[in-house]
Structures are given as C-alpha cells and as structure tokens.
C-alpha cells in the first residue's frame, strides 16, 4: 500500500471513529522504550476486525531512544500513558502525551513528550 493511500485511509478511519458504532474492545498495546523500558503510550484496538496491519513506533522523552516497531491489526485509538487512581481522578498521574505523529515509510511514528515537567516514567514489570 502506498504512503498516500495509507494517509488517506488514516484520515478516513479518524473521521469514522468519531462515532462509537462498530467499535469493539480489542485490547490495549503499550509500546515501551527499547532502552529504558518506560511505557510510552496506550494504543487501544477499537476495530480489531479490520484487515489492515499497521506498524507503530514511538520516541522516548525520558532517554531519547525509541520503542521497537510493533504491529497493530485493525483500527485503533491512541493516547499518552499514565497511572490512574480509580477512587479520585484528581490524583491521576500522567506520564506521557502524544504530541504529534507522522508516517515514515510503512510505520506510524509517534512523537511522545512528558505530560509535564515533573512527569516520571512508568515501567513495564
């Protein structure tokens, strides 16, 4: 699939995903840094039945490295990552946010930044 076709497909999926119809919980994928192991973002598979397979990679705002490329099947939503305390939303601890994204070759590359100047990395166990 050419890059132009992929870009057009991404825009179509973004517009289509504004409606909850057809969305399913296909689970979450948490790309982590290949160097420091910090969790960089949350990818929520919301259309796992779609046949497209996307490669995603994210940069690490904590050490400057990147995640390994990860394949995601179907449509998805994405966002930053943080710890959520179930009792009180005011106590949520954000770690990262997605600043921007781009397509490089056949890979979505997410530009991740710290959620704030005091943000600490959250590590996979």
Cα(123)–Cα(125) distance, rounded to whole angstroms? 6
Q: What is the dihedral of CA 112, 118, 119, 122, to 10 degrees?
A: 140
> What are the tokens at 35?
């160097």
Cα angle, residue 46 at apex, residues 87 and 52 outer, rounded to 5°: 150
Query: How far does Cα 104 stand from its chain's mean position?
Result: 16
Model pLDDT for residues 20-44, shown as the tens digit of each residue: 667 888 889 999 999 999 999 999 9
What's the pLDDT score for residue 113? 95
Phi and psi dihedrals of 49, rounded to 5? -80, -15
- Nearest C-alpha neighbor of 31 from the set 109, 99, 114: 109
| pLDDT band for position 59 (cuts 50, 70, 90) | very high
Partners of 104 in the beta sheet? 107
Domain boundaries, the chain: 3-84+91-112
């Amino acid at each position: 699939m050419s890059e132009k076709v992929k870009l057009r497909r991404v825009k179509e999926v973004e517009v289509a995903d504004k409606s909850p119809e057809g969305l399913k919980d296909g689970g979450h994928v948490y790309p982590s840094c290949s160097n420091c192991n910090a969790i960089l973002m949350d990818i929520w598979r919301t259309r796992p039945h779609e046949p497209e397979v996307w490669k995603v990679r994210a940069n690490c705002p904590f050490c400057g490295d990147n995640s390994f490329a990860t394949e995601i099947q179907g449509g998805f939503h994405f966002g930053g990552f943080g710890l959520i305390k179930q009792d009180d939303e005011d106590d949520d601890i954000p770690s990262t946010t997605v600043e921007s994204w781009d397509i490089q070759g056949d890979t979505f590359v997410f530009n991740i930044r710290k959620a704030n100047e005091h943000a600490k990395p959250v590590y996979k166990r």
